[in-house]
Copies of this chain bind each other. A is one copy, B any other.
Amino acid sequence: MPDALPQLNPSPRLLLGPGPSQIAPRVLQACATPLLGYLDPEYIQMMDDVQVLLREVFETENEWTFCVPGTGMAGMEAALINVLEPGDPVLICVAGVFGDRMANVAERCGAEVTRVDVPWGTAVPAEKVHEALQSVQPKLVGIVHAETSTGVLQPLSEIGALAHEAGALFLVDCVTSLGGVPVGVDAHGIDIAYSGTQKCLGAPPSLAPITFSPSAVEAFQARKTPVQSFYLDIGQIWRYWGSERAYHQTGMINMTYALREALVMIHEEGLEARFARHRRNQQALLSGAQAMGLEPAVEDPAARLPSLTTLRIPEGINEAAVRGSLLNDYGIEIGGGLGQLAGKVWRVGLMGYASQRSSVMLLLAALGDLLKNERVDEGLAAAAALYD
């Protein structure tokens, strides 16, 4: 043990990876605001604010809209374990790492999991879900809205309708979409949706916003066995977030401050403007990248996720070395590939506060430099044209 550890002094970073995303200065300031107690009336008021603001961004009227005390993965787990009991049949759509994890978590609940697997880099066609529903009557159909491992945006309406026709709950992972892409919980008939704070919402990683429709709450209340987790038991968590205000765990006070501030920023910007901003910056990135000969890994333009873009690694490039130079020479973080796509793609997140013209232009310039790309001027011009 050294006598003195170095001071906390991280290098400056522009976070353009799969998350955490760049945090706005006012949200960072919120993190450093002195703490209230977890039952302080002023803190309870802030929890109420967060619920109102979360309903706005989830686009729902669901009363049971709150935060699970953990990252997005805790949200996934809470979403599944509270409605599933051993032996329950479920249908999980798998088009990447996070769909696969959803199936894994459902299995740990003792559920009978039927998977609908599709090639990574594509969305799940409604027909494949329709087909699967011919041979299984699931309690729940689960799908990932924004697959962070592939950069695919999954259409929801048809699959949601199929789930309901089959009498199943419709569960959607919105970790990389909420706050950057329309989620429309009520419009799409989503029964359970969860997210993380550290992507398009623009707060640090810590909490998992979640919402349960009245049908999902009913399914929870009708269960015959206790939820396997006390920490993520939504009955317990709701005793704190709901009217009872009973102690369940010590609220993550300053992370709730940060989320509230980030949600106020979303409210001030307006959802439509925010979605348009995410879309425009991604279009600029894609235009610029393609003009430089960098191709998106998702073939179908309609399936490309505005908040996270996967780019194919050009032939003959040491992709890890490029990411290392981006980090060390430019202070820019982008992500490598995950799972099947490791070594094959880069993942560029333009989420929340980092979804800005300056992020796009700097990244293109930096990639142009590091790849010794001769068409960087064309790339920058193509990107800039999107802002005219």
A residues sitting closer than 8 Å to B (CB atoms) are: 1, 4-5, 8, 10-13, 15, 17, 19-20, 22-23, 28-38, 40, 42-43, 46, 49, 52-53, 56, 69-74, 76-77, 81, 101, 104-105, 107-109, 196, 198, 204-206, 226-232, 247-255, 257, 260-261, 264, 267-268, 327, 333, 338
Indicate if the CB atoms of A70 and B10 lie closer than 8 Å: no
- Of B227, B232, B253, B257, which is within 8 A of A20 by CB? B253
In the assembly, what is the distance between CA of A30 and CA of B28, in Å?
10
The answer to whether A204 and B10 touch (CB under 8 A), given A52-B1, A105-B230, A108-B229, is no
CB neighbours (8 Å) of A46 from chain B are: 8, 10
Indicate if the CB atoms of A13 and B28 lie closer than 8 Å: no
- Of B1, B37, B252, which is within 8 A of A206 by CB? B252
Indicate if the CB atoms of A34 and B43 lie closer than 8 Å: no
- Of B29, B33, B204, B260, which is within 8 A of A255 by CB? B204
The answer to whether A247 and B12 touch (CB under 8 A), given A231-B70, A252-B71, is no
Which residue on B lies nearest to A55, using beta carbons? B1
Indicate if the CB atoms of A72 and B250 lie closer than 8 Å: yes
What are 30 residue pairs bridging A and B, where the CB atoms are less than 8 Å apart in the complex? A4-B268, A5-B260, A8-B260, A10-B33, A10-B46, A10-B257, A13-B35, A13-B40, A15-B35, A20-B250, A22-B35, A28-B32, A28-B33, A31-B31, A36-B333, A69-B70, A70-B74, A70-B231, A72-B249, A73-B231, A76-B231, A77-B229, A77-B230, A77-B231, A101-B230, A105-B230, A204-B253, A204-B254, A205-B250, A228-B228
The answer to whether A19 and B250 touch (CB under 8 A), given A1-B56, A40-B327, A229-B229, is yes
In the assembly, what is the distance between CA of A131 and CA of B227, in Å?
32
CB neighbours (8 Å) of A30 from chain B are: 8
In the assembly, what is the distance between CA of A264 and CA of B250, in Å?
23
Indicate if the CB atoms of B70 and A253 lie closer than 8 Å: no
Indicate if the CB atoms of B8 and A34 lie closer than 8 Å: no
Indicate if the CB atoms of A247 and B77 lie closer than 8 Å: no
In the assembly, what is the distance between CA of A253 and CA of B8, in Å?
12
Indicate if the CB atoms of A249 and B206 lie closer than 8 Å: no
Indicate if the CB atoms of A249 and B33 lie closer than 8 Å: no
- Of B4, B29, B74, B247, which is within 8 A of A32 by CB? B29
Closest CB of chain B to A225's CB: distance in Å? 9
In the assembly, what is the distance between CA of A23 and CA of B255, in Å?
14
Indicate if the CB atoms of A32 and B35 lie closer than 8 Å: no
The answer to whether A10 and B37 touch (CB under 8 A), given A70-B231, A72-B249, A206-B255, is no
Indicate if the CB atoms of A12 and B38 lie closer than 8 Å: no
Indicate if the CB atoms of A108 and B71 lie closer than 8 Å: no
In the assembly, what is the distance between CA of A276 and CA of B341, in Å?
54
In the assembly, what is the distance between CA of A71 and CA of B4, in Å?
28
The answer to whether A8 and B261 touch (CB under 8 A), given A205-B250, A254-B204, is yes
Chain B CB count within 10 A is highest, among A35, A43, A52, for A35
- Of B35, B81, B205, which is within 8 A of A253 by CB? B205
Closest CB of chain B to A271's CB: distance in Å? 12
In the assembly, what is the distance between CA of A249 and CA of B76, in Å?
11
The answer to whether A13 and B36 touch (CB under 8 A), given A70-B74, A108-B228, A267-B1, is yes
CB neighbours (8 Å) of A15 from chain B are: 35, 37
Chain B CB count within 10 A is highest, among A10, A228, A261, for A10
CB neighbours (8 Å) of A23 from chain B are: 34-35
CB neighbours (8 Å) of A35 from chain B are: 10, 13, 15, 20, 22-23, 204
Closest CB of chain B to A178's CB: distance in Å? 15
